[in-house]
Amino acid sequence: MIHKEGRLLLVVLLIVFAGANYAAINYIENGLITNLIILTTVVLFLLVLQFFRNPPITVKTNDKAIYAPADGKVVVIEEAEETEFLNEKRKQVSIFMSPINVHVNRNPVSGLVKYFKYHPGKYLVAWHPKSSTENERTTIVYETEKGTQILIRQIAGALARRIKWYLEEGQKVDQGSEFGFIKFGSRVDLYLPLDAEIKVEIDQKTKGGRTVIAELA
């Protein structure tokens, strides 16, 4: 299944690459160059195609679990001060999404979207210490039925130049359902309660909507 964010781009690329291959076959006499052009366009198209894949998943909802909001790798587990909304110390878990990961973002919990804000900004590499505060990003705060607040950030990276989101303040959301998409490499930060029990380790691979990042007390 192809994500809606990539469908138009893939159609345009298909037309452009088909035109390039037609021209190469009919107007370039050197067979080696023609074959290189065809091979290059096929490889590029397949790379973009795999980036926008959106495989269906089955979400097992769990009121105590905080699911990974994205496919990727855990790169940060530490205590950090959250100063935009929560204004308190939290456990931060960050997931880096490489260009080969599925880039769908999923709600880590069910509940109410208490706060949402989009921040324009820079495009530092996603693992840069200042990317969380200086890069283009969104901040989302979920409030569960028990009143627990979970904050996450979509952060653009050096290649990711477009963040998409499909929620707004006051909206009720379901755990594991899709809330956004980041194109071409990025990072997602979670700010969890200090008493949450972390269930992942540094460098562990995550699957959005399936990997349990932490459990609430």
Q: Are residues 77 and 170 in the same domain?
A: yes
Distance from C-alpha of 10 to C-alpha of 83, rounded to nearest angstrom: 40
Q: Which of 160, 208, 207 is nearest to 187 (CA)?
A: 160
Give the model's pLDDT for residue 185.
64
Q: Which of 71, 72, 80 is nearest to 151 (CA)?
A: 80
Crossing angle of helices 31-51 and 4-27, rounded to 10°: 180
- The DSSP output letter for 185 is S
DSSP three-state, residue 62: coil
User: Among all chains, which residue has been given the structure tokens 């008493």?
Assistant: 195
Q: Are residues 45 and 85 in the same domain?
A: no
Q: Are residues 137 and 40 in the same domain?
A: no
Distance from C-alpha of 195 to C-alpha of 97, rounded to nearest angstrom: 26
What six digits make up the tokens of 50? 């795999």
With 0-12 CB in 10 A as exposed, 13-18 as middle and 19+ as buried, what is 201?
exposed
Q: Regarding beta strands 88-97 and 197-198, do their DSSP bridges make them parallel or antiparallel, or are they unpaired?
A: unpaired
- 110 among known catalytic residues: no
What's the one-letter identity of residue 59?
Answer: V
Q: Are residues 99 and 141 in the same domain?
A: yes
* Catalytic option among 94, 131, 132, 186: 186
DSSP three-state, residue 211: coil
In 65-171, which ranges are E strands? Answer: 65-67, 72-82, 88-97, 104-106, 111-119, 137-143, 149-156, 163-165
Q: What is the pLDDT of residues 137-184, one digit of tens each?
A: 899 999 999 999 999 999 886 655 578 899 999 999 999 999 998 876
Q: Are residues 17 and 118 in the same domain?
A: no
Domain hosting 23: range is 4-51
CB 116 within 8 A of CB 138: yes
The series of mean pLDDT values per 10 residues for the chain, 217 residues long, is: 83 92 87 90 87 84 94 95 95 91 92 94 60 78 95 79 86 95 83 96 96 94
Q: Are residues 47 and 136 in the same domain?
A: no
Q: Are residues 116 and 85 in the same domain?
A: yes
Helix extents (H) in the chain: 4-27, 31-51, 131-134
* Domains in the chain, number: 2
